[in-house]
Amino acid sequence: MRARGYRLMLLPFVAGSIILLIGPALLALGLAFTDFDGLSTPHWVGVDNFAHLLQEPVFQTVLRNSVEFLLLSLPIRLLGAYLPALWLSHPRRGAGLYRALVYLPSVLPDVAYALTWVWIVNPMYGPLNLALKAMGLAQPGWLADPNAARLVFVMMAALQIGEGFVIALSGLRGIPAERIQAAMVDGAGRWALFRHITLPLSLPWLALIVVRDAIFLLPWTFPMTAIMTGGDPYYNTLFIPLYARITSIDYLRFGQGSAAIVFMIVLAALVLFAFWRFARRGWYADEA
């Protein structure tokens, strides 16, 4: 009876996931093998769309942008979530305020967050360059600068770490106090405590953050780039989701747009696989 009640409560989420996520993802997978243009009957084209994308210079840039963004943002966000959680996992004065400050950027709506950053990185009037100028440092053109534009999105992603922070904090608070105390009795210093107790016991939580980010980060770029740059300058902030949207809806090449989304899913899977290979030794060692 109880189990049936739980299942009933799950129903809206399962239905929502099937209708809004799994169903469209499967349909997109199907479309990726067609020449569907949104207006005519689609024809099966095999892997032509994938081959075309891999030969297209713009998509090569998009793929490179996406990989670079993922590889830069993932570790920064992981550290950005874990280090404050580590610091705030112990009782300290003003902890509630600090927690709120860390979480605050995550509650901002995407449009507000994007527009705030457009102002922050305005090359001439934005506070970031004014601060750099006051310190006597170089002031990049940020969103106008092909070398700096992608970094803006890395910085933006690095500050929206509220959910990862909460996950890391709850993981750290779940570490049994007796293990810490036992290690201290054995003479473990702070570094040894962290290296041999805290970090290994945090790994499953950190893995959860990485898994979530690997899936979440590229789709996150869609509203941000659509609002802030449209992929400019010179395709340097064009990531797979916006490229797929432009290709599908503006150019009516839904087959190629869907193939781009398949590339994104494969990319996330590769990142997860690499992380799994990297992290599993730590988990198993801990569990043994």
Binding site for another protein (CB under 8 A): 20, 23-24, 27-28, 30-31, 34, 36-46, 52, 55-58, 122-125, 141-146, 232-235, 246, 248-254, 258
Nearest-approach distance from CB 139 to another protein, in angstroms = 9
- State the Cα–Cα distance between residues 241 and 83, nearest whole angstrom: 30
- State the Cα–Cα distance between residues 254 and 258, nearest whole angstrom: 6
What dihedral do alpha carbons 78, 59, 111, 22 form, nearest 10°?
Answer: -70
Q: Which is nearer to another protein, 74 or 260 (CB)?
A: 260
Q: Which is nearer to another protein, 57 or 187 (CB)?
A: 57
Q: Which is nearer to another protein, 145 or 286 (CB)?
A: 145
Cα separation values, 12 from 8, 67, 253, Å: 8, 34, 33
Q: Which is nearer to another protein, 19 or 285 (CB)?
A: 19
Nearest-approach distance from CB 158 to another protein, in angstroms = 22
Nearest-approach distance from CB 41 to another protein, in angstroms = 5
Nearest-approach distance from CB 80 to another protein, in angstroms = 27
Nearest-approach distance from CB 26 to another protein, in angstroms = 9
- If one counts every other C-beta atom within 10 angstroms of the C-beta of residue 191, the result is 8
Q: Please give the structure tokens belonging to residue 15.
A: 């239905």
- State the Cα–Cα distance between residues 2 and 224, nearest whole angstrom: 43
- 213 within 8 A of 77, measured Cβ to Cβ: yes
Q: Which is nearer to another protein, 233 or 282 (CB)?
A: 233
Q: Return the sign of the alpha-carbon dihedral for residues 62, 67, 73, 78.
A: positive
**Upstream peptide bond of 105 is cis (omega within 30 degrees of 0):** no
Q: Which is nearer to another protein, 14 or 100 (CB)?
A: 14
Cα separation values, 232 from 107, 187, 222, 250, 283, Å: 27, 56, 13, 16, 42
Nearest-approach distance from CB 31 to another protein, in angstroms = 6
The answer for residues whose C-beta is within 8 angstroms of residue 29's C-beta and 6 or more apart is 258, 262
Q: Which is nearer to another protein, 23 or 127 (CB)?
A: 23
In sequence order, what E strands does 5-120 have?
A: none
Nearest-approach distance from CB 131 to another protein, in angstroms = 16
